[in-house]
Structure 1
């Protein structure tokens, strides 16, 4: 196949190189899998959307890339109380809001200027692109729940818009 074939001349939707991506993980529940660490290796930033389980996992993730984490409903004790329940931040031009359980969101994302809302809690990976807003749930990277997959996600900006992909961990 040559570079002039239509497959290559059309604008393709491609994930950027790892160092241009943000790693998004949630619901590790005390199990930080080596496959998750390997998948996150080289990302520019890691976002943990809660239900961490043990503080040592935050240390391990912070060794890979800058880390922002929020508290989930299972996170208890002094270490967890130090984590916010929600956080809003800007990374790579993306205005991101994280909340563990999407049902607890009481704000209007567009009004507050967010173009990405990240949540966990359900263990169900999903990406919803609604207008100028991307809703992202990376799923769960910890213990398997029911028959749900073991996943995390990658997030990046493409032409000023948020893009994401779900990454299934080979476990």
Structure 2
């Protein structure tokens, strides 16, 4: 299973992201969607499911109706989605979660702690400061996890 991991679109859905979504078994959006049309387009492009959580800019319906956190099983692996990692209120290791995905900072980051992969794909929305426009692939197979960072614009 290969999941496209994105965050912080802030209403901008780049054509490159739609192309990647067409190749994904699932798309995971870590919040700050910005416009409902972003999720509609992702759902139309992604052959499999699209999972999304609410970010701090998603304040009006239907985006305000998105969950703050989401736990999904993909390829035999439990994946936990939230927007701001500072809001993590559980122990992923104790809960059997292998991957925690967050956004919010717009800065790509990958870290392994206690057998858990913490992934922030960066932002694919409007460019912020000098940060790259970035996303990631999450490869999940037989309980194994591999990430692949993608920089769309430096």
TM over 0.5: yes
**Partners of 2:113 and 2:94 in 1: CA distance:** 14
How many residues get paired?
A: 152
**Partners of 2:65 and 2:13 in 1: CA distance:** 20
Q: For residue 67 of structure 2, what is the aligned residue in structure 1?
A: 84
Q: For residue 116 of structure 1, what is the aligned residue in structure 2?
A: 99
- Ranges in structure 1 where 5+ consecutive residues have no aligned partner: 1-19
Mapped contact 2:4–2:21 kept (Cα < 8 A) = yes
State the TM-score, normalized to the length of structure 2. Answer: 0.94
Alignment equivalent of 1:141, drawn from 113, 124, 127: 124
State the TM-score, normalized to the length of structure 1. Answer: 0.85
**Partners of 1:152 and 1:163 in 2: CA distance:** 14
Mapped contact 1:116–1:135 kept (Cα < 8 A) = yes
Higher alpha-carbon Rg:
1
Q: For residue 86 of structure 2, what is the aligned residue in structure 1?
A: 103
Taking CA–CA contacts closer than 8 Å with sequence separation of 6 or more, which of the two structures ends up with the larger relative contact order? Answer: 2
> What are the within-5 Å matches in structure 2 for residues 123-134 of structure 1?
123-134=106-117
Question: What root-mean-square deviation, in Å, do the aligned CA atoms of Structure 1 and Structure 2 show?
Answer: 1.3
Q: Say which SS state the counterpart of residue 22 (structure 1) adopts.
A: strand
More strand by percentage? 2
Q: For residue 43 of structure 2, what is the aligned residue in structure 1?
A: 62
- Ranges in structure 2 where 5+ consecutive residues have no aligned partner: none
